[in-house]
Amino acid sequence: MPKVKAGTINLSYETFGSGDPLLLIMGFGMPGIAWTPMLPFLSTFKCIYYDNRGTGNSDRPAGAYSIDTMAEDAAGLLDALGIGKAKVYGISMGGMIAQELALRHPDRVEKLVLGCTAAGGSTAKMAPFEVLEKLIASVRLMASKPEEALDVLIPLLYPPEFIAKHPELKPLMLAGLQMAPGTPPETADRTVAGLIQFNTYERLPQIKCPTLIVHGEKDLLIPAENAQIMKARLENAELLMIPDAGHGYWAADPVGIHQRISAWLKG
Protein backbone atom coordinates (compact mmCIF):
# COMPACT_ATOMS: atom_id res chain seq x y z
CA MET A 1 0.00 0.00 0.00
CA PRO A 2 1.38 3.46 -0.85
CA LYS A 3 1.78 6.13 1.83
CA VAL A 4 0.88 9.82 1.76
CA LYS A 5 1.34 12.68 4.18
CA ALA A 6 -2.12 13.37 5.62
CA GLY A 7 -1.80 16.44 7.79
CA THR A 8 0.80 15.56 10.39
CA ILE A 9 0.85 11.81 9.81
CA ASN A 10 1.83 9.33 7.10
CA LEU A 11 -1.12 7.11 6.22
CA SER A 12 -0.98 3.89 4.25
CA TYR A 13 -3.87 3.61 1.79
CA GLU A 14 -5.11 1.73 -1.26
CA THR A 15 -7.82 2.17 -3.88
CA PHE A 16 -10.18 -0.29 -5.53
CA GLY A 17 -12.79 0.05 -8.26
CA SER A 18 -13.79 3.10 -10.26
CA GLY A 19 -16.50 5.73 -10.01
CA ASP A 20 -17.43 8.29 -7.38
CA PRO A 21 -14.96 8.40 -4.47
CA LEU A 22 -16.00 6.34 -1.44
CA LEU A 23 -13.87 6.69 1.68
CA LEU A 24 -13.92 3.52 3.78
CA ILE A 25 -13.01 3.85 7.47
CA MET A 26 -12.23 0.70 9.46
CA GLY A 27 -12.88 0.02 13.13
CA PHE A 28 -10.96 -0.54 16.33
CA GLY A 29 -7.51 -2.05 15.93
CA MET A 30 -8.07 -3.35 12.40
CA PRO A 31 -6.00 -2.38 9.33
CA GLY A 32 -7.63 -1.15 6.16
CA ILE A 33 -7.08 -4.53 4.51
CA ALA A 34 -10.04 -5.74 6.62
CA TRP A 35 -12.26 -4.11 3.96
CA THR A 36 -11.09 -6.69 1.39
CA PRO A 37 -14.09 -9.07 1.65
CA MET A 38 -16.48 -6.17 0.97
CA LEU A 39 -14.60 -4.47 -1.87
CA PRO A 40 -15.98 -6.62 -4.75
CA PHE A 41 -19.49 -5.49 -3.84
CA LEU A 42 -18.47 -1.80 -3.91
CA SER A 43 -16.47 -1.87 -7.14
CA THR A 44 -18.70 0.70 -8.89
CA PHE A 45 -17.12 3.31 -6.61
CA LYS A 46 -13.51 4.39 -6.33
CA CYS A 47 -12.99 2.93 -2.88
CA ILE A 48 -10.25 4.52 -0.78
CA TYR A 49 -9.40 2.41 2.25
CA TYR A 50 -6.55 3.05 4.63
CA ASP A 51 -4.82 2.09 7.87
CA ASN A 52 -5.89 4.27 10.78
CA ARG A 53 -3.01 5.65 12.84
CA GLY A 54 -1.41 2.88 14.87
CA THR A 55 -2.52 0.09 12.51
CA GLY A 56 -1.10 -1.53 9.38
CA ASN A 57 1.67 0.48 7.76
CA SER A 58 0.51 3.91 8.94
CA ASP A 59 2.50 5.91 11.50
CA ARG A 60 2.19 4.99 15.16
CA PRO A 61 2.70 8.24 17.08
CA ALA A 62 2.69 8.42 20.86
CA GLY A 63 -0.25 9.75 22.86
CA ALA A 64 -3.99 9.08 22.85
CA TYR A 65 -5.68 8.49 19.49
CA SER A 66 -8.82 10.59 19.78
CA ILE A 67 -11.72 10.27 17.36
CA ASP A 68 -11.29 13.99 16.60
CA THR A 69 -7.68 13.41 15.58
CA MET A 70 -8.55 10.41 13.43
CA ALA A 71 -11.30 12.42 11.70
CA GLU A 72 -8.65 14.99 10.82
CA ASP A 73 -6.47 12.14 9.52
CA ALA A 74 -9.33 11.18 7.20
CA ALA A 75 -9.76 14.77 6.01
CA GLY A 76 -6.00 15.01 5.48
CA LEU A 77 -6.08 11.86 3.36
CA LEU A 78 -8.79 13.35 1.13
CA ASP A 79 -6.66 16.50 0.81
CA ALA A 80 -3.55 14.52 -0.07
CA LEU A 81 -5.42 12.60 -2.77
CA GLY A 82 -7.01 15.74 -4.22
CA ILE A 83 -10.56 14.65 -3.36
CA GLY A 84 -12.79 17.58 -2.48
CA LYS A 85 -15.92 15.63 -1.58
CA ALA A 86 -16.61 11.92 -1.06
CA LYS A 87 -19.18 9.46 0.06
CA VAL A 88 -18.07 8.03 3.41
CA TYR A 89 -18.69 4.58 4.93
CA GLY A 90 -17.43 3.87 8.44
CA ILE A 91 -17.76 0.67 10.45
CA SER A 92 -17.82 0.54 14.28
CA MET A 93 -15.10 2.96 15.48
CA GLY A 94 -14.81 3.92 11.81
CA GLY A 95 -18.43 5.04 12.00
CA MET A 96 -17.51 7.28 14.92
CA ILE A 97 -14.66 8.75 12.91
CA ALA A 98 -17.10 9.24 10.01
CA GLN A 99 -19.51 11.15 12.29
CA GLU A 100 -16.74 13.49 13.39
CA LEU A 101 -15.58 13.94 9.81
CA ALA A 102 -19.11 14.95 8.75
CA LEU A 103 -19.42 17.33 11.71
CA ARG A 104 -16.01 18.96 11.27
CA HIS A 105 -16.00 19.04 7.48
CA PRO A 106 -19.63 18.95 6.27
CA ASP A 107 -18.61 20.19 2.83
CA ARG A 108 -16.41 17.11 2.34
CA VAL A 109 -19.08 14.44 2.96
CA GLU A 110 -21.69 13.85 0.27
CA LYS A 111 -23.40 10.82 1.82
CA LEU A 112 -22.72 8.92 5.01
CA VAL A 113 -23.06 5.24 5.88
CA LEU A 114 -22.76 4.46 9.59
CA GLY A 115 -22.28 0.74 10.19
CA CYS A 116 -22.62 -0.90 13.64
CA THR A 117 -21.67 2.27 15.47
CA ALA A 118 -22.91 4.67 18.18
CA ALA A 119 -22.97 8.35 19.10
CA GLY A 120 -21.22 7.88 22.45
CA GLY A 121 -21.96 9.91 25.54
CA SER A 122 -24.27 9.05 28.42
CA THR A 123 -27.18 8.05 26.15
CA ALA A 124 -25.21 5.31 24.35
CA LYS A 125 -26.14 1.70 25.12
CA MET A 126 -22.90 0.03 26.14
CA ALA A 127 -21.94 -3.60 25.88
CA PRO A 128 -21.25 -5.37 29.19
CA PHE A 129 -17.82 -4.53 30.60
CA GLU A 130 -16.59 -8.12 30.17
CA VAL A 131 -17.42 -7.98 26.45
CA LEU A 132 -15.43 -4.76 26.00
CA GLU A 133 -12.56 -6.30 27.99
CA LYS A 134 -12.47 -9.22 25.56
CA LEU A 135 -12.41 -6.86 22.57
CA ILE A 136 -9.45 -4.92 23.95
CA ALA A 137 -7.66 -8.17 24.85
CA SER A 138 -8.14 -9.52 21.31
CA VAL A 139 -6.60 -6.39 19.74
CA ARG A 140 -3.69 -6.49 22.18
CA LEU A 141 -2.99 -10.10 21.09
CA MET A 142 -3.16 -9.52 17.33
CA ALA A 143 0.52 -8.89 16.72
CA SER A 144 1.93 -11.65 18.91
CA LYS A 145 -0.77 -14.33 18.92
CA PRO A 146 -3.19 -13.77 16.02
CA GLU A 147 -4.89 -17.17 16.30
CA GLU A 148 -5.62 -16.62 19.99
CA ALA A 149 -6.80 -13.10 19.18
CA LEU A 150 -9.32 -14.44 16.67
CA ASP A 151 -10.55 -17.07 19.12
CA VAL A 152 -11.55 -14.18 21.39
CA LEU A 153 -12.73 -11.80 18.65
CA ILE A 154 -14.87 -14.02 16.40
CA PRO A 155 -17.56 -14.76 19.06
CA LEU A 156 -17.84 -11.00 19.62
CA LEU A 157 -18.45 -10.35 15.92
CA TYR A 158 -20.84 -13.14 14.93
CA PRO A 159 -23.74 -15.05 16.54
CA PRO A 160 -22.93 -18.65 17.64
CA GLU A 161 -25.16 -20.22 14.99
CA PHE A 162 -23.42 -18.25 12.23
CA ILE A 163 -19.97 -19.33 13.49
CA ALA A 164 -21.10 -22.97 13.55
CA LYS A 165 -22.22 -22.77 9.92
CA HIS A 166 -19.02 -21.05 8.75
CA PRO A 167 -15.89 -22.90 9.90
CA GLU A 168 -13.96 -20.98 7.21
CA LEU A 169 -14.27 -17.74 9.19
CA LYS A 170 -11.12 -18.14 11.27
CA PRO A 171 -8.73 -19.21 8.45
CA LEU A 172 -10.03 -16.43 6.19
CA MET A 173 -9.63 -13.79 8.89
CA LEU A 174 -6.20 -15.12 9.82
CA ALA A 175 -5.09 -14.90 6.19
CA GLY A 176 -6.34 -11.31 6.10
CA LEU A 177 -4.43 -10.35 9.23
CA GLN A 178 -1.23 -11.76 7.75
CA MET A 179 -1.50 -9.30 4.84
CA ALA A 180 -0.61 -6.34 7.09
CA PRO A 181 1.70 -5.77 10.06
CA GLY A 182 0.10 -6.79 13.34
CA THR A 183 -1.52 -4.09 15.43
CA PRO A 184 0.75 -3.45 18.43
CA PRO A 185 -0.82 -3.65 21.91
CA GLU A 186 -0.09 0.01 22.60
CA THR A 187 -2.44 0.98 19.74
CA ALA A 188 -5.33 -0.63 21.63
CA ASP A 189 -4.45 1.34 24.75
CA ARG A 190 -4.01 4.64 22.89
CA THR A 191 -7.28 4.18 20.99
CA VAL A 192 -9.32 3.24 24.05
CA ALA A 193 -8.11 6.42 25.73
CA GLY A 194 -9.57 8.38 22.81
CA LEU A 195 -12.79 6.36 22.56
CA ILE A 196 -13.69 7.12 26.17
CA GLN A 197 -14.00 10.81 25.25
CA PHE A 198 -16.08 10.28 22.09
CA ASN A 199 -19.52 11.90 22.10
CA THR A 200 -21.50 13.30 19.15
CA TYR A 201 -25.00 12.91 20.60
CA GLU A 202 -25.78 16.60 21.09
CA ARG A 203 -24.19 17.55 17.75
CA LEU A 204 -25.75 14.86 15.55
CA PRO A 205 -28.56 17.13 14.28
CA GLN A 206 -25.84 19.26 12.67
CA ILE A 207 -25.23 16.45 10.16
CA LYS A 208 -27.42 17.35 7.21
CA CYS A 209 -26.15 15.01 4.50
CA PRO A 210 -28.16 11.86 3.68
CA THR A 211 -27.21 9.13 6.14
CA LEU A 212 -27.79 5.38 6.12
CA ILE A 213 -27.49 3.59 9.46
CA VAL A 214 -26.81 -0.15 9.19
CA HIS A 215 -26.83 -2.43 12.22
CA GLY A 216 -27.09 -6.11 13.10
CA GLU A 217 -29.98 -6.94 15.44
CA LYS A 218 -27.76 -9.27 17.51
CA ASP A 219 -24.74 -6.98 17.88
CA LEU A 220 -22.91 -7.77 21.13
CA LEU A 221 -20.26 -5.04 20.90
CA ILE A 222 -22.46 -2.06 20.05
CA PRO A 223 -26.06 -2.97 20.92
CA ALA A 224 -28.67 -2.37 18.22
CA GLU A 225 -30.47 0.26 20.35
CA ASN A 226 -27.70 2.67 19.36
CA ALA A 227 -28.95 2.66 15.77
CA GLN A 228 -32.37 3.90 16.89
CA ILE A 229 -30.76 6.56 19.11
CA MET A 230 -28.77 7.93 16.19
CA LYS A 231 -31.69 7.84 13.77
CA ALA A 232 -33.79 9.91 16.17
CA ARG A 233 -31.09 12.60 16.19
CA LEU A 234 -30.44 12.70 12.43
CA GLU A 235 -33.07 14.48 10.36
CA ASN A 236 -32.02 12.94 7.04
CA ALA A 237 -31.35 9.33 8.03
CA GLU A 238 -32.60 5.90 7.01
CA LEU A 239 -32.17 2.74 9.06
CA LEU A 240 -31.31 -0.73 7.73
CA MET A 241 -31.48 -3.41 10.42
CA ILE A 242 -30.02 -6.81 9.57
CA PRO A 243 -31.94 -9.69 11.21
CA ASP A 244 -29.92 -12.40 13.01
CA ALA A 245 -26.66 -10.53 12.38
CA GLY A 246 -24.02 -9.52 14.88
CA HIS A 247 -21.40 -6.77 14.86
CA GLY A 248 -20.03 -8.20 11.61
CA TYR A 249 -23.41 -7.74 9.93
CA TRP A 250 -21.88 -7.66 6.42
CA ALA A 251 -21.16 -11.39 6.55
CA ALA A 252 -24.82 -12.32 7.04
CA ASP A 253 -25.66 -11.66 3.37
CA PRO A 254 -22.66 -10.05 1.63
CA VAL A 255 -24.31 -9.69 -1.77
CA GLY A 256 -27.74 -8.54 -0.64
CA ILE A 257 -26.56 -6.14 2.07
CA HIS A 258 -23.98 -4.46 -0.14
CA GLN A 259 -26.41 -4.23 -3.04
CA ARG A 260 -28.69 -2.21 -0.76
CA ILE A 261 -25.86 -0.04 0.51
CA SER A 262 -24.51 0.51 -3.00
CA ALA A 263 -27.95 1.36 -4.39
CA TRP A 264 -28.52 3.84 -1.56
CA LEU A 265 -25.17 5.50 -2.15
CA LYS A 266 -26.01 5.90 -5.83
CA GLY A 267 -29.58 7.06 -5.26
| Distances 183 to 56, 175, 262 between C-alpha atoms, Å | 7, 15, 30
In the predicted structure, residue 177 carries a pLDDT above the cut 90: no
> Mean pLDDT, the chain, as a whole number?
96
How many domains would you assign to the chain?
1
Average pLDDT over residues 71-98: 98
Q: What is the pLDDT of residue 141?
A: 94
Largest Cα separation within the chain, whole Å, is 45
Alpha carbon distance 259, 254 (integer Å): 8
Domain containing 169 — which CATH number? 3.40.50.1820
Please, what is the end-to-end C-alpha distance for the chain in angstroms? 31
* Mean pLDDT value of segment 127-132: 95
Q: Is the pLDDT of residue 194 over 90?
A: no
Q: Report the pLDDT value the prediction gives residue 54, as an integer from 0 to 100.
A: 96
Contact 196, 136 (CB under 8 A): no
pLDDT of residue 136: 94
- Read off the DSSP letter of residue 79: H
Report how far residue 163's alpha carbon sits from residue 156's, in angstroms, rounded to the nearest whole number. Answer: 11
b/e code 167-193 from CB counts within 10 Å (16+ = b): eebeeebeebbeebbbbbbebbebbbe
**pLDDT confidence of residue 172:** 92
Q: Taking a C-beta distance cutoff of 8 angstroms, is the pair 75, 101 a contact?
A: yes
How confident is residue 119, by pLDDT bands cut at 50, 70 and 90? very high
Residue 229: which domain range?
3-266
